[in-house]
Amino acid sequence: MPLFKTYRVGDELPGFETGPLTPEWFSRYAVASGDHNPLHTDPAVGQAAGHGGVIAHGMLVMGLLGRVAAHLGGPGALQEFRTRFQAPTRPGDRLRCGGRITAIYEREGRTFVEAELWAIGQDGVARASGAVVAAPLP
């Protein structure tokens, strides 16, 4: 785990790029999360909804952003985590997930760090953006 206090505003968090997303992954996520909305698993439903087929669960993308947020501290360090879903993620998309420190401050003797997060497709289109507030466990 990185040393929390060594971050400075403007620093990028370690990010990662996914391989091409697959319908199988969406199906596994449906089972793991209990979200069985057929929009994510049944191509006919995705087609009817105007997406040309299945799209990823937004929460799968937010979950991936959580992997970036984890660089701010281990489990329990997160205070707030928000994500806005901006465009559908489809099979074959590759997501570049990353983040950047936006604020560091002290409050009640603890150091808080805020970061913005992003998931951007191989086409340069943002699929989701987020924000996270973290404080190391006292």
Determine phi and psi for 70, rounding to 5 degrees: -60, -20
Closest CB to another protein among 4 and 25? 25
Contact footprint for another protein (CB under 8 A): 25, 28-29, 31-39, 45, 49, 57-60, 62-64, 66-67, 69-70, 74-76, 78-85
Closest CB to another protein among 12 and 80? 80
Closest CB to another protein among 39 and 120? 39
| Least separation in angstroms between CB 126 and another protein | 14
Alpha carbon distance 62, 49 (integer Å): 22
Strand 126-134 to 110-121 pairing: antiparallel
| Least separation in angstroms between CB 109 and another protein | 19
